[in-house]
A = this chain, B = another copy of it.
Amino acid sequence: MKITRDLYQGSLTLLTDFYQFTMAYAYWKSGKAEQEAVFNLFFRKNPFQSGFTVAAGLDYVIDYCRNFQFSDKDLAYLADMNDGNGKPTFEAAFIDYLKDLKFSCDIDAVEEGEVVFPNMPLVRVRGPLIQCQLLETPLLNIINFQTLVATKAARIVLAAKDDPVIEFGLRRAQGIDGALAASRASYIGGCSSTSNVMAGQLFGIPVAGTHAHSWIMSFENELEAFKAYAEAFPDHTILLVDTYDTVNGIKNAIEVAKLLKERGKKLLGIRIDSGDLAYFSNIAREMLDTAGFPEVQIVASNDLDEHIMTSLKMQEASINVWGVGTKLVTAFDQPALGAVYKMSALKNEEGEWVPKIKLSQQSIKINIPGIHNVKRFIVNGKAIGDMIYLENLEEKEQVTIIDPIDPTRRKRISVANADSEVLLKPIFKNGEKIYSRPSLEEIRNRARNRLAAFDKTHKRLINPHIYPVGLEASLYEYRTSLVLKAKALENGK
């Protein structure tokens, strides 16, 4: 096993569940491999009891689809699979079929940085059944995680008010890409910088960092260590003051601030990484101000999340910059989003689209059938509701959206008096990329701008006001009739 040689440098096409291959093989055997289908990727609940979610991961999905092809090594691995008695799992002709398989799907997706809600498709894949299936697992892996972290970051940035937030979760992240993708998603969600140098290199995210306790411990005493650090970075010194005793550390930092001042330089900041952050940040602020250094910033860290930060803000802690790691990059309080990927339509032999419904004992788990899209209505710059509708819907002057879970929650929207935007954008057409990728900076700006279009009550961190998202009335009725028909059919069996 070689991380840097074998892993990730070639094809990622095998990064999928084995059952996608058993189904692919069985579709192929049944002559259904090329039958056209539509699948939607969506989630059923905002994470973290949030009132909103921030989409991320599309850029990885685009890469994945563009590189979708079986390498000789992949094919050899599949051809080599057997039942333990030497009988190959897959016929040789199927391996040949995979060899020639080219990505040819249409993909429509919500752009990265967009604000999204339960039940709406984030990614819609239309194409041959076999390709739709093989893509299921990698798409879920990518979108689930990055959307989760972008949302967590947005919440943390909201809690920080206008202060910068540094993401530094690399050491606790779930694996290498669990760190890199998290740094990227955190930046989309509004973080200002990352500690992860490789994320800086790959994605152009600003990197930040100062020194560790070990720096202090490698010197005779703290003051000497501070001086040596300031010597190396006279224009960018931030001193970690809590290696031994925080108050004494602040005193030593003030000594260094004075020395820098004599040289016409400024101490940039101090960092506190332990103890009571409200207490010590206020002591530090007072000591620094009294010593004539009101401009020295106070950086705080230590298992922070949006709730602790809100509490520190309410306590008027003197914190200017927030360092957030574990709780952000692992989405600690809910480490998986739980998005799913469900078939909603299948083309029959006559070339007609047949809507597909999957029943469930839990009505929240019944999918939305047909080929649909999402439209957001905006009045005076404020988002007022999102409508999930069948793509062939004719123009209407007024629409009603109905919550699929609680149909008594409805909203009537006057189309004529609202701006609107269709959220699923064309990304691939017949396997060709037709979407022009925005820069990461543009994506981050989109997230900020889109979030600004939502009423602050939807962005409340606890017990948020629920933003209206629903099925357009005729889609709602259509879905209900399909559910009833399917249930009657089932009982008839």
List residues of chain A with CB under 8 Å of any chain B CB: 1-12, 14-23, 25-27, 29-30, 32, 35, 37, 39, 59-60, 63-64, 67, 73-74, 77, 81, 83, 87, 89, 129, 133, 136-137, 140-142, 144-146, 168, 170-182, 184, 195-198, 200-203, 207-215, 217-218, 228-229, 231-233, 235-236, 243-245, 248, 274-275, 326, 330-332, 335-338, 342-343, 346, 356, 358-361, 365, 486, 490, 493
Contact = CB atoms under 8 A, between A and B. Distances in A.
7 contacts: A16-B197, A29-B228, A83-B235, A140-B172, A174-B178, A174-B336, A330-B336
A37 B215 CA distance: 12
Contacts of A146: 175
B358 A12 contact: no
A346 B140 CA distance: 47
Given A35-B218, A202-B1, A170 B19 contact: no
Please give the count of copies of this chain that the complex contains.
2
A201 B141 contact: no
A200 B18 contact: yes
A73 to B, nearest CB: 8
B330 A201 contact: no
Given A3-B12, A22-B233, A177-B178, 19 more contacts: A1-B60, A4-B8, A6-B202, A15-B179, A15-B197, A17-B168, A19-B211, A29-B231, A37-B218, A39-B214, A141-B172, A174-B335, A217-B343, A217-B356, A245-B490, A274-B360, A274-B361, A326-B336, A326-B338
User: Which 4 A-B pairs rank lowest in CB-CB distance, beginning with the nearest?
Assistant: A19-B209, A9-B9, A18-B209, A8-B8
A172 B89 CA distance: 27
Contacts of A275: 361
Contacts of A200: 14, 18, 77
A4 B14 contact: no
A211 B208 CA distance: 46
Contact of A197 (B17, B214, B228): B17
Contacts of A87: 235
A342 B214 contact: yes
Given A170-B141, A172-B144, A172-B338, A7 B209 contact: no
A360 B216 CA distance: 14
A319 to B, nearest CB: 19
B196 A64 contact: no
Nearest to A61: B3
Contacts of A25: 232-233
B212 A19 contact: yes
A141 B174 CA distance: 7
Contacts of A145: 173-175, 178
Nearest to A17: B195
A211 to B, nearest CB: 5
B211 A171 contact: no
Contacts of A358: 213, 217, 243
Contacts of A170: 15-17, 137, 140-141
Contact of A228 (B30, B74, B365): B30
A129 to B, nearest CB: 6
B29 A232 contact: yes
Contacts of A201: 14, 73-74, 77
Contacts of A182: 174-175
A13 B25 CA distance: 41
Nearest to A362: B274
A493 B87 CA distance: 77
